Amino acid sequence: MKRILALLAVIVTTVLYAQPQPVKWSTSNTIEEDKVRVVIHADIESGWHLYSQNLEDGGPIPTSFYLDTSSAFVSMGKWSEGEAHVEFDPNFDMDLAYFSESADFSILLKPSQSDFVVKGELEFMVCNDEMCLPPTYVDFRTEVLDAPLPSPWEGLGTTFWLGFLGGFAALIMPCIFPMIPLTVSFFTKQSKTRSQGIFKASIYGVSIIVIYVGLGLLVTLLFGADSLNKMATNPWFNLAFFALFVVFAASFFGAFEITLPSSWVNKADDASNKGGMLGIFFMAFTLSLVSFSCTGPIIGSLLVKAASGGSLLGPAVGMFGFAFALAIPFTLFAAFPGWLNSLPSSGGWLNTVKVTLGFLELAFALKFLSTADMVMQTHFLERELFLAIWVAIAFITAFYLLGAFRMPLDSPAQSIGVSRLFFAISFMIMGFYMLPGIFGAPVKLIAGFPPPEHYAESKGGAYASMVTAVAQGQHTATADLGEHCPNGLPCFNDFEKGLAYAKEVNKPIMIDFTGWGCVNCRKMEENVWVDERVHQRLRDNVVLISLYVDARPDLPEEQQYTSEITGRKIKNIGNKWSEFQEVNFKEVSQPLYVILGHDDLTPLVEKTAYNLDVESYIDWLDRGVEAFK
């Protein structure tokens, strides 16, 4: 009753006391490292109270901010405010947080343009000891100039380190490791002084980097980042890589030796004898050709991974990391030749490394086969079978390292070394860890590699089977739900159907641009979407529309067309949703998440993508739902 009387008092006093607004607003911005802070300042007349953003329901209207979305920036969290005064208000029968005299509210933005305008609307309510004024809306606006732009190298650090690890793995392969002391000894013996040896070995290392980075740039220039991204989900491309990796694995096991044409190697070797800088370069080129049987699978995997991110620099940065790891030992051992004595001698352990990497290649080959299977929807390699094969490979590798059997090129092992034992234990642990996944348990450590839980014999897996019935019960029986919905969530696989249903239930839309071959999509589903709070929001607060950009079923003939914008032929469902994403949201990579209303395709809040921070994802979902309301 007190609250009703308080609200009636607001209406009465509004009629009796028309007066100027007691709060004056101003907006400014400042640069903070690579971000922009927008500050909204309130000057409050003496005797009046401006309320905080954080009030319980049933009281006065809290101060609220509605930031217009823009492609020029992304907001980094919620609006913050200064410390408010908290006091019990008998009129509303509750504690209220408010500001007197002045207040500051701010938000951090991450810019993608140097010059842009930030604008929006705020809502607020003020009271004094005698009356309250009705809620008021005020527009705010500030112009940002010379904002710091994100570095073009941002996000490529992971690609570099993946390349570096790949190069390190290549170093201890039988094709390369024995060449380290031989090559360094050659440079030191052919040089009159130590400094000459170091200089020539350094040129050799730089040449290795130039060759591999040039390969990365050539791949990008020939195909383009977007084309490589699409190739990564092409079933025939994946089947070809599956076959290639199986062949390389068989070679690592000792079935046969893969070499490039001897004429190539001979010509490069002849060129290396010319001496000078050119000769050193061709020595590095000869190393690249000779070591192809070891480095080929690693380079191929790295190029596919780097290119699938959609970055033009990705393949080159990945190759730089790979070549950098290869080049380091040649320069260091040339500078300190005494270190060569500390290197373990070549022997049977090198073949053990090669065979172990062969098992790993066989496991990764399965990922390419799985991608092709999911894109083509043949259901040959579903989640249970995939995990069963990986479990088998893990245990077989462990038994091999423990000496249970030997491969054709292995030397007899008299004892098991400590390092070999630890690796065997690691593979055994991974085998036992993955084993329950066959029966539906989550296996987050390998999230993204096996098929998703809804691509399985027991559809949805253990987690989803408990919530599917409840989740789908939230939706009307007439809703034409999609067949491919992550984590047992009710979803649509068609935008128009999802939009119609969103209007029916008056909920915002969340588009999930995904793909069967998208590893990061699976990681999001298996690490973030499984969180109970995220799952509840996706189930109850939004209408989820999962659009697979690599789905291959053909569109009806009358729906096929040639895009007037991109010029591409739209023949299948994946073409349609890929075009839809690129044209309307200016993105080509997955996952991409967008929250929309019902009237147009303008995002209600900033778009978001791969981010394993659960709290950040919850905040983004909540802000999207609030913006819809």
pLDDT score, position 388: 95
Residue 26 has pLDDT above 70, yes or no: yes
Confidence of residue 453 (pLDDT cuts 50, 70, 90): confident
pLDDT score, position 536: 94
Mean pLDDT of the 317-334 span:
83
Residue 368 inside a domain? The answer is no
Burial class (CB in 10 A: 0-12, 13-18, 19+), 54: exposed
pLDDT score, position 469: 44
Residues 139 and 166 in one domain: no
Confidence of residue 81 (pLDDT cuts 50, 70, 90): very high
Q: How far apart are CA 529 and CA 617, in angstroms?
A: 9
Residue 217 inside a domain? The answer is yes
Residues 539 and 586 in one domain: yes
pLDDT score, position 281: 81
Cβ–Cβ under 8 Å, residues 204 and 283: yes
Cβ–Cβ under 8 Å, residues 69 and 604: yes
Residues 511 and 535 in one domain: yes
pLDDT score, position 471: 45
Q: How far apart are CA 568 and CA 578, in angstroms?
A: 11
pLDDT score, position 428: 96
Question: Does residue 612 come out as left (phi exceeding 0), alpha (psi in the -120 to 50 range) or beta?
Answer: alpha
Burial class (CB in 10 A: 0-12, 13-18, 19+), 125: buried
User: Of 401 and 447, which is predicted with more confidence?
Assistant: 401
346, 371, 400 - which closes a domain: 346
Residues 172 and 312 in one domain: yes
Comparing CA positions, the residue from 516, 270, 500 lying closest to residue 375 is 516
Residues 15 and 105 in one domain: yes
Tokens of 176: 């390369």
**Angle between helices 292-307 and 314-335 in degrees, nearest 10:** 140
Residues 224 and 307 in one domain: yes
Residue 112 has pLDDT above 90, yes or no: no
Task: Tell me which H or E stretch contains 152.
Answer: none
Residues 179 and 82 in one domain: no
Residues 140 and 181 in one domain: no
Residues 51 and 181 in one domain: no
Residue 494 inside a domain? The answer is yes
Q: Which one of 212-226, 261-275, 552-566 scores highest in mean pLDDT?
A: 552-566
Mean pLDDT of the 347-366 span:
83
User: Of 421 and 338, which is predicted with more confidence?
Assistant: 421
Residue 149 inside a domain? The answer is no
| Pairing mode of beta strands 102-111, 73-75 | antiparallel
User: What beta strand segments (E) does 156-209 contain?
Assistant: none
pLDDT score, position 425: 95
pLDDT score, position 468: 45
Buried b / exposed e over 541-556, threshold 16 CB at 10 Å, is: bbbbbbbbbbbbeeee
144, 166, 199 - which closes a domain: 144
pLDDT score, position 365: 87
Residues 95 and 204 in one domain: no
Residue 220 has pLDDT above 70, yes or no: no
Q: Which one of 259-268, 345-354, 402-411 scores highest in mean pLDDT?
A: 402-411
Residues 123 and 162 in one domain: no
pLDDT score, position 311: 59
Mean pLDDT of the 586-596 span:
86
pLDDT score, position 494: 94
Q: How far apart are CA 72 and CA 126, in angstroms?
A: 33
Those residues with Cβ within 8 angstroms of residue 310's Cβ, 6 or more apart along the chain or in another chain: 225, 226, 229, 588, 589
Residue 77 inside a domain? The answer is yes
Backbone angles phi, psi at 483, to 5 degrees: -85, -25
Cβ–Cβ under 8 Å, residues 296 and 176: no
Residue 359 inside a domain? The answer is no
pLDDT score, position 178: 72
What domain range is 18 assigned to? Answer: 2-144
Those residues with Cβ within 8 angstroms of residue 491's Cβ, 6 or more apart along the chain or in another chain: 481, 482, 484, 485, 498, 512, 544, 545, 546
Q: Is residue 591 reached through a cis peptide bond, with omega within 30 degrees of 0 on the bond before it?
A: yes
Cβ–Cβ under 8 Å, residues 484 and 574: no
Residue 472 has pLDDT above 50, yes or no: no
Comparing CA positions, the residue from 371, 337, 345, 307 lying closest to residue 177 is 345
Give percent of the chain with pLDDT exceeding 90.
26
Q: What is the mean pLDDT of the chain?
A: 81
How many domains, the chain?
3
**What CATH number does residue 482 fall under?**
3.40.30.10
CA angle 207, 155, 69 (to 5 degrees): 150
pLDDT score, position 266: 65
pLDDT score, position 273: 62
Mean pLDDT of the 166-186 span:
76
pLDDT tens digit sequence for 39-58:
999 999 998 989 999 888 77
Q: How far apart are CA 295 and CA 171, in angstroms?
A: 9
Buried b / exposed e over 516-526, threshold 16 CB at 10 Å, is: bbbbbbbbbbb
**What CATH number does residue 71 fall under?**
2.60.40.1250
Confidence of residue 198 (pLDDT cuts 50, 70, 90): confident
Residue 330 inside a domain? The answer is yes
Residue 597 has pLDDT above 80, yes or no: yes
Residue 454 inside a domain? The answer is no
Residues 176 and 63 in one domain: no
Cβ–Cβ under 8 Å, residues 50 and 85: no
Task: Tell me which H or E stretch contains 539.
Answer: helix 532-540
pLDDT tens digit sequence for 135-165:
888 999 999 988 887 655 565 677 788 888 8
* DSSP codes joined into one string, 555-572: PPGGG-EE-TTT--EE-B
CA angle 271, 276, 277 (to 5 degrees): 85
| Pairing mode of beta strands 543-548, 116-124 | unpaired
- Max CA-CA distance within the chain? 101
346, 366, 394 - which closes a domain: 346
Q: Where are the alpha helices (DSSP H) in 224-347?
A: 225-231, 235-253, 262-272, 276-290, 292-307, 314-335
Residue 294 has pLDDT above 70, yes or no: no
Confidence of residue 229 (pLDDT cuts 50, 70, 90): low
Confidence of residue 21 (pLDDT cuts 50, 70, 90): confident
Lowest mean pLDDT among 16-25, 279-288, 364-373: 16-25
pLDDT score, position 462: 43
Cβ neighbour number for residue 204 with a 10 Å cutoff: 22
Give percent of the chain with pLDDT exceeding 70.
82
